[in-house]
Structure 1
């Protein structure tokens, strides 16, 4: 089989920090690259989707026509009893066009960041030759199946086809492993250089087209059609091609459109009102007033805020299938977290050796370490490490025959050359082993039973260590305390969740006693013990019926129903295809604890949108004080009292307001892309903070900005 090797430029460089990427959220290179897109968005067929900016564009067109026609119509007319300079209309037109371009530039920059990531992903879609099996019989012998394969292009593979992939080859399409285990290089997708293990029959059976097998051989059943693979979906998502407006965004657009219509009507009535005072208001000033009245700032940045929210997830290697999912994450009130791998490290670790009365503790430690030298599990390695920390070293290998752990015996151990046997395992299994032929029934010592109960009650797992001498007599030396270790810092993070008003629930298959102990140690609010897929689904439905929005993570086929039911379902990239199809987000790093970060990003999106909306509406107040007095001071001198900024002239006041209205968009673009910093606090405190910072700031900033611009405009002859 021949393959074409793509250039795998990862969307994120391995080792690159998220903070580093965040700092480059608005670079000069990105702005330059986005300029053509900003001009392309001037097409009215695209602009009408943003009603606020469409009105600004219509105003720009009208003022441009007037600026061109004025030399032939005898120059600009006075307005409100005040004369305006000849360059006034042209200046208004120019700044209205800049206002529209700045708005388009904000959206184009946000989209451009996704397009750059999509370009690198496209390089992983190079066509690959695949070996398709005609009749897969599950054989483990490559030679037996080689004669029954046919070479086809990956573009010709269909769902259900079965292919063989060996070391050094690219996986030709998305699928599930039917047979085998292999290490796979997924750096082209995740940006992580370390290979991952994929195997059949578990929750790590899904593979992605374009990734490379580094070792061994696997048989894969294709699950996606060409053009509909996971990479194709990623490209569409990061480009924004599949981004639909969210319910909140649609509602805000309707509000902005309604406000715009109201202010259009208000503006149209000004000239009839002015006519009663034997005055007129020129069309350029009416257009300028309208543009300053309508909420242009949030109208210009609304789309880029939504795109940037999804992009912040992509920066953390999380793909949201829709903007709705990101918003829902911001409104989540219940967080379901799997215990293993999320709250705990997932591998139990030895934390204590407990010797029985009359037993030398060093004998227990040595026996436990010897029986664990050949144990490849994390538990076995932790026993050896704990023994070494206690000063007992047993060498690199154990003399004798290793007895591996099996589900039937529930024990592992070592048979030494001198006839001594060591076993460690469940208490009942070790008791049965000591009992042997059953002629002399073994009675568990009282202190052993007490220790087993104590460890179990604390949420740990007791492993009993026993020995048999050459003559067959057996005795218990003591226990090893295995414990699920709760990840550092989680208690503090759950406290943050609580401050946000989010209830955390640990989901586990453990018994209620163990679940209660770990939940208390981790600091979660509640737990669901001995949970089956049906239990998870029922729990989510109960929460939703109570008015809560629920988020959860999962990686297995048995998690698919709950992932589909949850408002935010985060599937692990290492999980099954069913899980990834059911969820509305995919975590490329397969880190279940990232769900907490997803919630924070969702809240940051909502807060950013709210902050910019508050600022936009508040800064209109200063514009009214600039333009309204300027329009009628010539007819009603008393209105000069409203000119509290002391602006130079009516013409300079109007032009200064329009200039500020345009450039404030540029200053707010980095904030829209980066997002308002989120701090865990109640909704009422967040609202008060927004009103104080962005409400008050939205009032003060325009007064300062318009005054400074007016000072500069006043230097222009005629103004």
Structure 2
């Protein structure tokens, strides 16, 4: 427990307490990344790296590739080489910082892993002590209070509290028990704090949840996303275009009798190609996954984070997402002339074997009204709830059948036994539904006794969040097992665009497929085994950490806090990732305008086009150096923006485009003019050119 708390605190404070160490490691890593194999992954920066090598050669031999420029070509070429070198280093530094933040989280997670002894149950019932690395999927193990759970699995016997703070950051132990979609899954590396459990292992060594978390946050399995690949191709094409243009300049310079040195041509090429976004592109992608991790969500790939930014439809369960979660029994409503005590007695009997929060609240309310169990529960048979029957209850030894469930399901149960239905039931049903509650009917054999009012409470602020989604063009669909009247009340109060009432697991998949058939990208949350097919079908599936192993494996994101509303936050992060990438790309390309007006007049100053020197730069050498220095320094200057992302605003695509063009397009044109001029003044003052 103490170790988990310490790790949680360390992970929480790592970004502030260890920034100095992170930056120093990232700077060292930036030089390691200069290896050609690494540089080839980024075509833009690889070209800058090649240019650095060439200018280094002409620093040693100024006339190696043609005539030199300036009075001191070695000094001038050497300065260009140094600036280009640090341009590459700064780009690597941005990527190394983003990776370093993920590795810091991976180190904290790795500290929770250790080879522990496991008590493996053999077929003959005996217990064999083995190392956790010897466990395989399907093995059964026994853990007792104080033990570290050696592998991912599902509880099959026992009820116990488990400390999951090492991975979730929450210190409160979580109750684990078999047969529950939200409380049967356990994670290797967590600690059992009370009682004992028998667990079925669900993951082979090295394939557990924490192993996958370490691999993902560390970036070992990161691959470029489709949008990132597309942007990389665009940058490569732009680079090739500028390369062709620069290649024609020597011919032009000979024709106009104004020779240009190879170092100046390389300087012009580097200044014009989109080095800013080229140097920050990888860091933006890694930082996007890091921001998701800071929300205690583990994404299986950068692709899933990126897709969140393009989501058109959110499919959300009502309970726990739109409402506060556990519905509580608020009131018993009598029908057919039965007394309140009789309804409470039947409701209590129907919920004896119901271990859900709703079932427990029914028992509590019934006992508060004086109801008591008047039969031997050991001789009775519990009937579990199923999505097909939409009922649960109990069969007593004397043949009496007691059921509770959806009103229409109970009606069908009573009709099948030739029971009579009265208008009172429909009146109670409508009363509860209009209040936004969930009505459950209770019956004994062919006689309906009354209706249970389960109260739902809309989460504060959820309507405003759905309004934000709507402004971004995202459709929200609520799924609920409630009747249509109740669902419509909740949907209207919450502000969702559409709802599916009396939804079954099959309905979830059908809704997703229908939306996808219209060309839309769909995201949804789930935690149960019956959610797994829908999670796999959705473009973005977010599984709850408290859910089953099947749900976690089907999803492409896992929420460690098991908070279904995180889906809205994840969509926001995805949007922020795309906005940041687009804004910095706009800024990078807009920068070229100012650098063009700085270097082109400098190159052809000898042929009388000095009138183009609208910035009034001191000399051709100063113009080239000023533009290159700005080009290098703007990369580290934008690292904080690339890592934290541009502040998200719920705007439409057209509004975002207009905002980006105005702020980052216009700003990208103006900022270099000011910065290059200031650098020129400084260079002239110190006598570098």
TM-score normalised to structure 2 length: 0.86
Given the alignment of the two structures, is residue 317 of structure 1 paired with residue 291 of structure 2, yes or no? no
Q: CA deviation at 1:242?
A: 0.4
What is the DSSP-based 3-state SS (H/G/I as helix, E as strand, rest coil) of the residue aligned with 1:125?
A: coil
Q: 2:157 aligns with which of 168, 179, 191?
A: 179
Decide whether aligned partners of structure 1 residues 481 and 560 sit closer, same or farther in structure 2, where only a CA change above 3 A counts.
Answer: closer
**Quick check: 2:8–2:165 contact (8 Å CA) kept in 1?**
no
Q: 1:596 aligns with which of 537, 549, 568?
A: 568
* Distance in 1 between residues matched to 2:407 and 2:483, nearest whole Å: 18
Q: 1:13 aligns with which of 1, 9, 34?
A: 9
- Deviation string 1:398-443 (CA, Å, 9 cap, x unpaired) is 797789997699899xxxxxxxxxx9988999x99xxxxxxxx999
Decide whether aligned partners of structure 1 residues 219 and 102 sit closer, same or farther in structure 2, where only a CA change above 3 A counts.
Answer: same
Given the alignment of the two structures, is residue 685 of structure 1 paired with residue 655 of structure 2, yes or no? yes
Q: CA deviation at 1:514?
A: 2.2
Q: 2:60 aligns with which of 48, 57, 68?
A: 68
Decide whether aligned partners of structure 1 residues 600 and 382 sit closer, same or farther in structure 2, where only a CA change above 3 A counts.
Answer: same
**Equivalent residue, structure 1, for 2:456:** 484
Decide whether aligned partners of structure 1 residues 198 and 105 sit closer, same or farther in structure 2, where only a CA change above 3 A counts.
Answer: same
**Quick check: 2:535–2:554 contact (8 Å CA) kept in 1?**
yes
What is the DSSP-based 3-state SS (H/G/I as helix, E as strand, rest coil) of the residue aligned with 1:13?
A: helix
**Equivalent residue, structure 2, for 1:454:** 431
* Distance in 2 between residues matched to 1:482 and 1:236, nearest whole Å: 44
Decide whether aligned partners of structure 1 residues 10 and 236 sit closer, same or farther in structure 2, where only a CA change above 3 A counts.
Answer: farther
Q: CA deviation at 1:65?
A: 2.0
**Quick check: 1:10–1:191 contact (8 Å CA) kept in 2?**
no
Q: CA deviation at 1:452?
A: 4.2
- Deviation string 1:686-718 (CA, Å, 9 cap, x unpaired) is 000000110011001100100110010011336
**Equivalent residue, structure 1, for 2:226:** 247
**Equivalent residue, structure 1, for 2:87:** 99
- Deviation string 1:654-713 (CA, Å, 9 cap, x unpaired) is 000000001011110000000011100110000000001100110011001001100100
Q: 1:257 aligns with which of 236, 243, 246?
A: 236
- Deviation string 1:239-260 (CA, Å, 9 cap, x unpaired) is 1110000011011111111111
* Distance in 2 between residues matched to 1:320 and 1:463, nearest whole Å: 38
**Quick check: 1:10–1:121 contact (8 Å CA) kept in 2?**
no
Decide whether aligned partners of structure 1 residues 411 and 118 sit closer, same or farther in structure 2, where only a CA change above 3 A counts.
Answer: closer
Listed as ranges, the gaps of 5+ residues in structure 2 are 385-390, 395-401, 412-417, 444-448
**Equivalent residue, structure 1, for 2:208:** 229
**Equivalent residue, structure 2, for 1:700:** 670
* Distance in 2 between residues matched to 1:427 and 1:51, nearest whole Å: 61
**Quick check: 2:66–2:262 contact (8 Å CA) kept in 1?**
no
What is the DSSP-based 3-state SS (H/G/I as helix, E as strand, rest coil) of the residue aligned with 1:341?
A: helix
- Deviation string 1:617-637 (CA, Å, 9 cap, x unpaired) is 00111000000000001123x
Q: CA deviation at 1:32?
A: 1.6
**Equivalent residue, structure 2, for 1:40:** 32
Which deviates more from structure 2 when the two are superposed, residues 692-701 or residues 344-353? Answer: 344-353
**Equivalent residue, structure 2, for 1:498:** 470
Matches within 5 A, 1:159-558: 159-203=137-181, 204-349=183-328, 450-462=427-439, 481-558=453-530
* Distance in 1 between residues matched to 2:41 and 2:283, nearest whole Å: 14
**Quick check: 1:9–1:121 contact (8 Å CA) kept in 2?**
no
Decide whether aligned partners of structure 1 residues 297 and 577 sit closer, same or farther in structure 2, where only a CA change above 3 A counts.
Answer: same
Q: CA deviation at 1:44?
A: 0.9
* Distance in 2 between residues matched to 1:385 and 1:398, nearest whole Å: 10
Decide whether aligned partners of structure 1 residues 360 and 307 sit closer, same or farther in structure 2, where only a CA change above 3 A counts.
Answer: same
Decide whether aligned partners of structure 1 residues 135 and 6 sit closer, same or farther in structure 2, where only a CA change above 3 A counts.
Answer: farther
**Equivalent residue, structure 2, for 1:709:** 679
**Equivalent residue, structure 2, for 1:673:** 643
* Distance in 1 between residues matched to 2:466 and 2:406, nearest whole Å: 35
**Quick check: 1:625–1:642 contact (8 Å CA) kept in 2?**
yes
Q: 1:652 aligns with which of 598, 612, 622?
A: 622
Which deviates more from structure 2 when the two are superposed, residues 344-353 or residues 195-204? Answer: 344-353
**Equivalent residue, structure 2, for 1:109:** 97
Q: CA deviation at 1:191?
A: 1.4
Q: 1:50 aligns with which of 25, 33, 42?
A: 42
Q: 1:622 aligns with which of 586, 594, 600?
A: 594
**Quick check: 1:182–1:199 contact (8 Å CA) kept in 2?**
yes
Q: CA deviation at 1:162?
A: 1.0
- Deviation string 1:69-107 (CA, Å, 9 cap, x unpaired) is 34xx6999654xx65665211111111111011000000
What is the DSSP-based 3-state SS (H/G/I as helix, E as strand, rest coil) of the residue aligned with 2:662?
A: helix
Decide whether aligned partners of structure 1 residues 78 and 462 sit closer, same or farther in structure 2, where only a CA change above 3 A counts.
Answer: closer
Q: CA deviation at 1:353?
A: 8.4
Q: CA deviation at 1:384?
A: 12
* Distance in 1 between residues matched to 2:258 and 2:201, nearest whole Å: 76
**Quick check: 2:405–2:442 contact (8 Å CA) kept in 1?**
no
* Distance in 1 between residues matched to 2:440 and 2:178, nearest whole Å: 30
Alpha-carbon RMSD: 4.0
**Quick check: 1:424–1:463 contact (8 Å CA) kept in 2?**
no
Decide whether aligned partners of structure 1 residues 610 and 506 sit closer, same or farther in structure 2, where only a CA change above 3 A counts.
Answer: same
- Deviation string 1:267-322 (CA, Å, 9 cap, x unpaired) is 11111111011221011111100100100000000000000000000000101101
Q: CA deviation at 1:220?
A: 1.1
Decide whether aligned partners of structure 1 residues 360 and 216 sit closer, same or farther in structure 2, where only a CA change above 3 A counts.
Answer: closer
**Equivalent residue, structure 1, for 2:388:** none
> In the comparison of the two structures, how many residue pairs are matched?
662
Decide whether aligned partners of structure 1 residues 577 and 562 sit closer, same or farther in structure 2, where only a CA change above 3 A counts.
Answer: same
**Quick check: 1:25–1:674 contact (8 Å CA) kept in 2?**
no
TM-score normalised to structure 1 length: 0.83
* Distance in 1 between residues matched to 2:338 and 2:486, nearest whole Å: 29
**Equivalent residue, structure 2, for 1:575:** 547
Decide whether aligned partners of structure 1 residues 386 and 699 sit closer, same or farther in structure 2, where only a CA change above 3 A counts.
Answer: farther
* Distance in 2 between residues matched to 1:631 and 1:224, nearest whole Å: 64
**Which one has the largest radius of gyration?**
1
* Distance in 2 between residues matched to 1:694 and 1:14, nearest whole Å: 37
**Quick check: 2:316–2:477 contact (8 Å CA) kept in 1?**
yes
**Equivalent residue, structure 2, for 1:435:** none
Q: CA deviation at 1:524?
A: 0.8
* Distance in 2 between residues matched to 1:520 and 1:329, nearest whole Å: 25
Given the alignment of the two structures, is residue 664 of structure 1 paired with residue 641 of structure 2, yes or no? no
* Distance in 1 between residues matched to 2:91 and 2:332, nearest whole Å: 66
Q: CA deviation at 1:511?
A: 2.4
**Quick check: 1:77–1:83 contact (8 Å CA) kept in 2?**
no
**Equivalent residue, structure 2, for 1:140:** none
What is the DSSP-based 3-state SS (H/G/I as helix, E as strand, rest coil) of the residue aligned with 1:219?
A: strand
**Equivalent residue, structure 1, for 2:111:** 123
* Distance in 1 between residues matched to 2:406 and 2:621, nearest whole Å: 91
What is the DSSP-based 3-state SS (H/G/I as helix, E as strand, rest coil) of the residue aligned with 2:158?
A: strand
**Quick check: 2:27–2:93 contact (8 Å CA) kept in 1?**
yes
Q: CA deviation at 1:451?
A: 3.9
* Distance in 1 between residues matched to 2:513 and 2:57, nearest whole Å: 59
* Distance in 2 between residues matched to 1:208 and 1:384, nearest whole Å: 32
